[in-house]
Amino acid sequence: MRLSALTLLLALPALQADEGMWTFDNVPVQKIQAKYGVALDAAWLKKLQLATLRFPGGTGAFVSREGLVVTNHHVGRGYIAQLSTAAMDLVKDGFTAGSRDQELKVPGLELMLLVSTEDVTARVNATVKPGMADKDALTARRNALAELRKGEEAKTGLTCEPVTLYQGGEYWLYRYRKFADVRLVAAPELQVAAFGGDADNYTYPRHNLDFSLYRVYENDQPYRPEAFLPFSTRGVAMGELTFISGHPGTTFRLQTLAQMAYARDIGIPTQLRTIARQKAALQALSATSPEARRIAAETIYSLENGAKRLSGQLLGLAKAENLKQVEAAEATLKAAVAKDPGLQARVGGSWEEVARAVARQKELRQEAAHTGAGRVALLGHALTLVRLAREEAKPSAERLTEFSEGNLKATRNRLLSPRPVQKPVEEALLAVSLQEALDDLGPGHPFVKAVLGGLSPKEVAKAAVAGTRLDDVAVRRGLAEGGRAALEASADSMILLAQKLDPFNRAIRKQMEDDVTSVFSEHGGRIAEARFKAFGKSAYPDATFTLRLGYGPVATYANGTGTLAQPFTTFLGLYDRHLGWGGNAAAAEGGAWTLPQRWLDRQGSLELATPFNFIYACDTVGGNSGSPVVNAKGEFVGINFDSVYEGQGGYYVYDPDTKRAVATDVRAILESLRKIMDADHLVAELLGK
């Protein structure tokens, strides 16, 4: 008797997410082999490493021998918008380069390829002398890392970054090769790439064709990578083991209970309030004209995405059983420390020290939140310029860390990035930032009086943006090269605002570093030492936007309503959801489930049973967007683009029952390229034909 697909599905053993965002030097290969019978060797891991690229804010991968790169549409959306105009909206209408000479260079987009890593913990910690205050120890470690970075960059010609792991338990140098000539090759229409919009974000089942293709060039020729991930035509099946290689941004699983309680009660609610105000301001801007709507769309999307992610994190922290789990783990480690007199003397008081620093963080929170540049890129550039000349005049060890000799090159690169800035968006965000400062600090606060000067936040923001030329990278370069004299002679309105802001920001930053950051660094490192001694390196470090490996099977789960989620969606489901919401007739009401016209015109040519998205049990967070999902052979089977809402608490506390990631299936990408996007030439390249 043949079993139905549902019977087979229910007959499978319960599948849970496999915890861990593992650094490539510490992949649990024996554990993977014992559980799944898959043996990963050094060559397999090295190939995956050398095929994985870091995008700004996300991940991508080489997928052809001619330098073709895949990432999410939403990772590349800002760059696609940058190449768009009112007359040629590539975000709305999509894009396919018919030949290499039609591929569009993206100004300012740089991709990073991790070449090698080195543990420098001993050298960094050797600069901390016995009895040194926490704030001085923080400075010593930062300066040591900056000097190591400078030396390695001079020796290798690579871009080097210092990396702190295990809350200060380890320090590493990561060496990257940078690619600066990156060109857009193909992208679907936004309406199908982000089908369902914010309403469907962080949900499942999903129908998102969330991919885009780029190509890396060197010397005006396609780059031939050392490794790339061939596209699989078979895809994956329910229960099949998958691996994900990417750059998860930030997790907080190794924080103390006191730090997590702060995030729950103060940190996340404050961020959500700010995002709501920023979104409202940009929606008001969008309503003024179609062009305003176009230029504000990417930032609004980013805000909506951030708000939903944070609200999911808050939901996870609000579950009493989650923090009880953290409390129990903390008690277990404290008990292990108490059994070792030497460890007790060094680490026993660390949790209390962190708790005191959290209390101080609460006291400094409002001033720290309102005296920086925030989301306003032009103000960030101005603040960098104001500080550049002043800091360079000091000995390297006495500078703000981003201006030390070892970090100065990276700071200058950020300042001189040619990525365009949208002034209307900047003005709206600056007005919100200043209004929040006025509301929270009060009109009598010295900072508020200094930056507003009796005017309203909107008036100051309008004048600052209208009177600046810092959106021109040539102007920024001229001021950077002109030194202190050029800054003092400048009448640029954003420079003048940054000069007012600088002393307040420096003062609160020093207090935060002396009383909070340094304590978290020192005692987070000590707690990590205790964890290493008790449990070895069987644990993985929190995410730091550095390369990690995750693994887990294609797996269903019971969502918030108790319904068992299907492991795969299909093109059939895409069209069903479109029709179920009223088709394109719903567009007049702002429907999120409308489809581009060519997707309706060519529906008949599609194999509608083709898998579209799938759900799988890898441990991911933001930054894994665009990460390649591969099978045991190292073949590309999908691209990660999301995770489910119920699993967002995993930023703090891992839950194997709800931690699920969502990927666009390789078969959907190939079918769409062939049948919708007129890209048979790209399909041939991806399949090595």
Percent of the chain clearing pLDDT 90 (strictly above): 91
- Identify the band that residue 8 occupies on the pLDDT scale cut at 50, 70 and 90: very low
Handedness of CA 152, 153, 156, 160 (dihedral sign): positive
pLDDT at residue 591 in the model: 78
> Could you report how far apart the first and last alpha carbons of the chain are, in Å?
41
Phi and psi dihedrals of 246, rounded to 5? Answer: -170, -165
The 3 state secondary structure assigned to 537-606 is CCCCCCCCCCCEEEEEEECCCECCCCCECCCEEEHHHHHHHHHHCCHHHHHHHCCCCCCCHHHHHCHHHC
- Identify the band that residue 13 occupies on the pLDDT scale cut at 50, 70 and 90: very low
Mean pLDDT throughout 162-167? Answer: 94
- Asked if 473 contacts 415 with a C-beta cutoff of 8 angstroms, the reply is no
Q: Which two tokens stand for residue 686?
A: 């991806």
Mean pLDDT throughout 520-524? Answer: 95
Whether 330 has a pLDDT exceeding 50, the answer reads yes
pLDDT at residue 14 in the model: 41
Q: Is the overall model pTM greater than 0.85, yes or no? A: yes
pLDDT at residue 389 in the model: 86
- Radius of gyration of the chain, Cα coordinates, nearest whole angstrom: 25
How far apart CA 305 and CA 301 sit, in angstroms, is 6
Q: What CA–CA distances, in Å, run from 201 to 6, 195, 552, 572, 583?
A: 27, 9, 22, 20, 20
Q: Which two tokens stand for residue 114?
A: 């991790």
Mean pLDDT throughout 353-367? Answer: 97
47-51, 341-345, 657-661, range with greatest mean pLDDT: 47-51
Range 343-347 contact pairs with CB under 8 angstroms and sequence separation of 24 or more: 343/529, 343/530, 343/533, 346/526, 346/529, 347/526, 347/527, 347/529, 347/530
pLDDT, one tens digit per residue, over 663-683 is 999 999 999 999 999 999 999
pLDDT at residue 362 in the model: 97
Mean pLDDT throughout 128-157? Answer: 95
What is the CB neighbour count within 10 angstroms for residue 609? Answer: 10
Phi and psi dihedrals of 616, rounded to 5? Answer: -150, 160
- Hey, is 214 helix, strand or coil? strand
Percent of the chain clearing pLDDT 70 (strictly above): 97
CA-wise closest residue to 658 among 8, 199, 15: 15
pLDDT, one tens digit per residue, over 545-597 is 999 999 999 999 987 777 899 999 999 999 999 999 999 987 766 679 999 99
pLDDT at residue 590 in the model: 67
Determine the residue type at 278.
Q
Label residues 20-44 b or e (16+ Cβ within 10 Å = b).
Answer: bbbbbeebbbeebeeeeeeebeeeb
pLDDT, one tens digit per residue, over 400-417 is 999 999 999 999 999 999
pLDDT, one tens digit per residue, over 430-472 is 999 999 999 999 999 999 999 999 999 999 999 999 999 999 9
How far apart CA 295 and CA 287 sit, in angstroms, is 12
Mean pLDDT throughout 486-495? Answer: 94
The distance from CA 426 to its chain's CA centroid, rounded to whole angstroms, is: 21
pLDDT at residue 419 in the model: 86
How far apart CA 211 and CA 639 sit, in angstroms, is 7
pLDDT, one tens digit per residue, over 83-115 is 999 899 999 999 999 999 999 999 999 999 999
Mean pLDDT throughout 60-71? Answer: 98
What is the CB neighbour count within 10 angstroms for residue 618? Answer: 30
Q: Which two tokens stand for residue 644?
A: 């489910």
Phi and psi dihedrals of 569, rounded to 5? Answer: -110, 170
- Identify the band that residue 188 occupies on the pLDDT scale cut at 50, 70 and 90: very high
Mean pLDDT throughout 515-542? Answer: 92
How far apart CA 350 and CA 529 sit, in angstroms, is 11
pLDDT, one tens digit per residue, over 371-385 is 999 999 999 999 999
Angle at 234 between CA 228 and CA 606, to 5 degrees: 105
Whether 15 has a pLDDT exceeding 60, the answer reads no
CB contact set of 47 (below 8 Å; sequence gap of 6+): 227, 634
Question: What value does the mean pLDDT of the chain take?
Answer: 94
- Hey, is 681 helix, strand or coil? helix
pLDDT at residue 589 in the model: 61
* Residue 357: Cβ-neighbour burial (10 angstroms; 0-12, 13-18, 19+): buried
- Identify the band that residue 658 occupies on the pLDDT scale cut at 50, 70 and 90: confident
pLDDT at residue 513 in the model: 96
Q: Which two tokens stand for residue 337?
A: 């420390």
Whether 29 has a pLDDT exceeding 80, the answer reads yes
How many residues are listed for the chain in this entry? 689
- Hey, is 376 helix, strand or coil? coil
Say which DSSP state 98 is in.
S
